[in-house]
């Protein structure tokens, strides 16, 4: 592990907040601590670093005066900005940005300690060595992820996508059904990786608006079949990255369209208490074949020459459904991102 003074842009810091309280009646005192993982936006410049925490940019600096040697945080403003690539690509976010920025609340008080625990470079190396963790879905009996592994998981999935190991990746842009739990888009490195994908050649995206407009997800996909048709279909019923499918059918369907191993999907479904029957498995497989007659090929690359982009009638119908779903949403003002769009080129 590196020290705070060695931190660089796109490192992940572990912050420990410790606060003390005392009781006037008993004369006793107590302390409590909490741990969070945040992304370094600007590395240590000799006196401070800039961090992203829950929608706010914060400056972490050495305290002055009697507290010299301690660390203190100060607010710099909300993130992402209204003119960012993220918001321009998904204009529905503009209306909820103030709430997303405000969710972080007051800057945490008390003593702060910090150390570097991960980095984008390390995550990229892990994915390149073996993308299974971010590509295949959880297998029954897999160990529970650590707090750090969970924090950088979305970034890892996007890195696997950009390395061609996944044809589709989902990112929860706004969670309106459980906002008290925070916004997954602020997990370390998530926005950075999202914008890398939005600017990458060969990548397209479509917005998926949750029923009732209570959530917004970005569906990024390799701009070829079958991934284009699969992405359109996911958007047509408002699939959300951080919402659990409500039926066995949709658990099976979504898991397979996202490229998870079938045995992992079946294990997940069985663990939910209602195993998938052979008949239902056949129905899902048949419905997937109707979306596109092209078999998925991984890894994909933007330089591939053998690309079939023609979308069959099922995909066109799904795209129309996605657009209609967006226009009918009260939560995101018309669902402008309900239509598929190619990612902006660098």
pLDDT digits (tens, 9 = 90+) for 158-201: 999 999 999 999 999 999 999 888 899 999 999 999 999 999 99
Its domain, for residue 175, covers 119-342
From CA 340, how far away is CA 232, in angstroms rounded? 8
Residue 90 belongs to some domain of the structure:
no
- Report the domain count for the chain: 1
pLDDT of the residue at 323: 43
pLDDT of the residue at 68: 56
pLDDT of the residue at 326: 40
Residue 184 belongs to some domain of the structure:
yes
Residue 111 belongs to some domain of the structure:
no
Angle between helices 248-257 and 278-291 (to 10 degrees): 50
pLDDT of the residue at 325: 40
From CA 237, how far away is CA 286, in angstroms rounded? 18
Residue 156 belongs to some domain of the structure:
yes
Residue 17 belongs to some domain of the structure:
no
Question: Cβ distance 101 to 87 under 8 Å?
Answer: no
Type and span of the H or E element at 139:
none
Question: Cβ distance 84 to 164 under 8 Å?
Answer: no
Residue 289 belongs to some domain of the structure:
yes
Residue 249 belongs to some domain of the structure:
yes
Residue 3 belongs to some domain of the structure:
no
From CA 190, how far away is CA 195, in angstroms rounded? 9
Residue 202: closest CA among 338, 316, 300 = 300
Q: Which residues of the chain have pLDDT under 70?
A: 20-31, 65-69, 305-346
């Amino acid at each position: 592990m590196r020290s705070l003074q060695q931190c660089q842009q796109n490192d992940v810091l572990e912050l420990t907040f410790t606060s003390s309280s005392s009781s006037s009646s008993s004369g006793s005192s107590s302390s409590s601590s909490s741990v969070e993982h945040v992304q370094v936006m600007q590395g240590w410049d000799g006196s401070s670093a800039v961090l992203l925490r829950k929608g706010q940019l914060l400056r972490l600096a050495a305290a002055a005066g009697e507290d010299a040697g301690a660390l203190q945080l100060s607010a710099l403003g909300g993130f992402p900005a209204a003119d960012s690539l993220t918001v321009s690509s998904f204009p529905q976010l503009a209306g909820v940005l103030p709430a997303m920025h405000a969710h972080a609340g007051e800057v945490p008080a008390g003593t702060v300690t910090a150390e570097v625990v991960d980095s984008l470079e390390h995550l990229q190396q892990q994915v390149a060595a073996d993308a299974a963790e971010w590509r295949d879905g959880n297998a029954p009996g897999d160990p529970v992820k650590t707090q750090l592994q969970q924090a950088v998981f979305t970034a890892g999935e996007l890195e696997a996508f950009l390395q061609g190991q996944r044809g589709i990746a989902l990112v929860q842009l706004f969670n309106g059904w459980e906002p008290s739990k925070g916004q997954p888009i602020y997990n370390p490195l998530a926005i950075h990786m999202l914008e890398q994908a939005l600017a990458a050649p060969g990548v397209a995206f479509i917005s998926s608006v949750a029923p009732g407009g209570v959530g917004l997800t970005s569906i990024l996909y390799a701009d070829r079949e079958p991934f284009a048709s699969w992405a359109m279909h996911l958007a047509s019923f408002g699939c959300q990255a951080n919402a659990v499918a409500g039926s066995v059918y949709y658990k099976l369907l979504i898991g397979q369209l996202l490229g998870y191993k079938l045995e992992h999907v079946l294990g997940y479904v069985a663990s939910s208490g209602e195993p998938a029957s052979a008949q239902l498995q056949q129905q899902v497989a048949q419905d997937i074949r109707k979306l596109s007659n092209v078999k998925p090929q991984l890894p994909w690359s933007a330089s591939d020459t053998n690309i079939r982009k023609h979308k069959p009638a099922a995909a066109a119908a799904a795209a129309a459904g996605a657009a209609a779903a967006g226009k009918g949403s009260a939560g995101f003002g018309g669902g402008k991102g309900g239509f598929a769009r190619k990612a902006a080129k660098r």
